[in-house]
């Protein structure tokens, strides 16, 4: 069960509470069983699941809701609190205290370490830091060229020498090189190891002694599930300044198992990889993560993404407000979807909106970059009047647009259907909940 499936299962369990005529012991136990099933299907350790759900059930049956809070709302709060505690309570960011801050990454081969190094560099670059990367991976052919290729579009420099066989020497020389260049952060990418924690830890110690990093980061593959425990534990025992990034959580059937296994060691998870794009790396905040997982949204995360786009002048507040009210035409739709696609997959973005993510039909959000490109070509063949008033597009216009864009009648109809579905969905949203959401986004609201 991927994390999205886990989220849907947990969300479905909570919806039982919302739909029930009354909340009694039978219903509470049924909801707890659903939560148990969802977590076990996501490869979370059975003992941990039983301990967690026992706490949820005990509190749900015994605690009295505070004044003004319904029993349903109180139980949802209990589930949220216990899941958050289960995954580590507080966010623990990587601190950039001095210039340059040196970060060393280690990981088992195939964990996605090199890609994660590129993502981490991009994450810090977007926050105004000048980053230099050192490739000291002398084991894997092509590691240097892969890293260079990943960050080249963002003008992030990589130091390395594919012909050098001494990883420690490469690391030292790379760090010295970037110190002279005056960068803010130096990230050293070490060689991956073949499922052997001892040799990984040994190389980490050798390179660490040579470059004296401020923080050592272990990259763990989220698809290994509960096996993440032994890697995280060995790492935690070997370094007092360690942090962990869990990768490949976007489609992993074992993502919940990997996260819970790492948390069980007491090692701090600082980032999670949630997609293949270079921007798909998120700071791990248990509160925000659980909130999204339960379908309760992540307004803070959404605001941060909007802020990034606003700084790049790719998303205007008035355009977004028009979109959210369902008062947009084809030209508006394309502009907003294109802007949102730069924030990440549309489904991930919409899951940040409270109560919205898991209620959206898949047809509404299945807008891939490939389809967006096709939609743009189709819209390039439309007149200004058609773009601003899509309702005038009849069958003869559809045939003309298809011929002009080199697409099919079916493709043009698909674009129009997508537009109508999105417009209908946003118009049908509960105005009060939309109003609250827009106010939290600093966008005024409907005045009701």
Annotated binding site for GTP: 107-114, 189-193, 247-250
User: How many angstroms separate the CA atoms of 164 and 436, rounded?
Assistant: 58
- Those residues whose C-beta lies under 8 Å from the C-beta of residue 383, and which sit 6 or more positions away, are none
Q: Which residues are annotated as a binding site?
A: 107-114, 189-193, 247-250
Backbone angles phi, psi at 270, to 5 degrees: -110, -25
User: How many angstroms separate the CA atoms of 39 and 75, rounded?
Assistant: 18
Smallest CA-to-CA distance from 203 within 104, 321, 274, 69 is with 104
312 class by beta-carbon count within 10 Å (0-12 exposed, 13-18 middle, 19+ buried): exposed
Cα-based torsion angle of the residue sequence 23, 24, 30, 33 in order, rounded to the nearest 10 degrees: 100
Q: Please list the helix, strand and coil fractions of the chain in percent, rounded to the nearest 5, in that order.
A: 60, 10, 30
Q: Which two tokens stand for residue 43?
A: 């490869």
Q: Which two tokens stand for residue 66?
A: 């505070």
Helix (H) or strand (E) holding 132: strand 131-135
Helix (H, G, I), strand (E, B) or coil at 380: helix
Ordered DSSP codes for 96-128: --SSSEEEEEEEBTTSSHHHHHHHHHHHHHHTT
Smallest CA-to-CA distance from 365 within 382, 379, 352 is with 352
H and E: helices and strands count for the chain: 21, 8
Q: How many CA atoms lie within 13 A of 196 on its CB side?
A: 9
């Amino acid at each position: 069960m991927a994390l999205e499936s886990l989220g849907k299962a947990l969300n479905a369990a909570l919806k039982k509470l919302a739909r029930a005529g009354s909340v009694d012991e039978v219903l509470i136990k049924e909801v707890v069983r659903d939560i148990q099933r969802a977590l076990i299907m996501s490869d979370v350790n059975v003992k941990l699941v039983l301990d967690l759900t026992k706490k949820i059930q005990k509190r749900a049956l015994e605690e009295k809701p505070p004044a003004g809070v319904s029993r349903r709302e109180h139980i949802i709060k209990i589930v949220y609190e216990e899941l958050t505690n289960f995954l580590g309570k507080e966010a623990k960011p990587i601190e950039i205290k001095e210039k340059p801050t040196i970060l060393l990454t280690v990981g088992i081969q195939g964990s996605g370490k090199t890609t994660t190094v590129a993502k981490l560099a991009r994450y810090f670059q977007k926050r105004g830091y000048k980053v230099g990367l050192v490739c000291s991976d002398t084991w894997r052919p092509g590691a240097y060229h892969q890293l260079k290729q990943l960050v080249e579009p963002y003008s992030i420099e990589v130091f390395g020498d594919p012909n050098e066989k001494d990883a420690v020497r490469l690391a030292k020389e790379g760090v010295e090189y970037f110190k002279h260049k005056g960068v803010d952060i130096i990230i050293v990418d070490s060689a991956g190891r073949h499922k052997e924690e001892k040799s990984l830890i040994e190389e980490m110690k050798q390179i660490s002694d040579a470059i004296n990093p401020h923080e050592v980061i272990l990259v763990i593959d989220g698809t290994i599930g509960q096996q993440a425990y032994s890697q995280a534990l060995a790492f935690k025992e070997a370094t007092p300044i360690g942090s962990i990034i869990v990768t490949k959580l976007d489609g992993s059937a074992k993502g919940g198992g990997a996260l819970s296994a790492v948390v069980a060691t007491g090692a701090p998870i600082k980032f999670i990889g949630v997609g293949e794009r270079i921007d798909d790396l998120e700071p791990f905040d248990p509160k925000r993560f659980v909130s999204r997982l339960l379908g309760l949204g992540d307004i803070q995360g959404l605001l941060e993404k909007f802020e990034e786009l606003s700084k790049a002048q790719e998303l205007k507040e008035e355009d977004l407000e028009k979109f959210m009210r369902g008062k947009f035409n084809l030209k508006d739709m394309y502009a907003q979807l294109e802007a949102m696609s730069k924030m990440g997959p549309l489904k991930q973005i919409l899951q940040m909106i409270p109560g919205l993510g898991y209620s959206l039909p898949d047809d509404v959000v299945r807008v891939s970059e490939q389809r967006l490109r096709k939609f743009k070509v189709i819209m390039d063949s439309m007149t200004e009047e058609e773009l601003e008033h899509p309702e005038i597009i009849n069958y003869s216009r559809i045939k003309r647009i298809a011929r002009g864009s080199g697409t099919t009648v079916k493709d043009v109809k698909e674009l129009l259907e997508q537009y109508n579905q999105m417009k209908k969905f946003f118009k049908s949203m509960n105005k009060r909940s939309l109003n609250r959401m827009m106010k939290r986004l600093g966008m005024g609201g409907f005045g009701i």
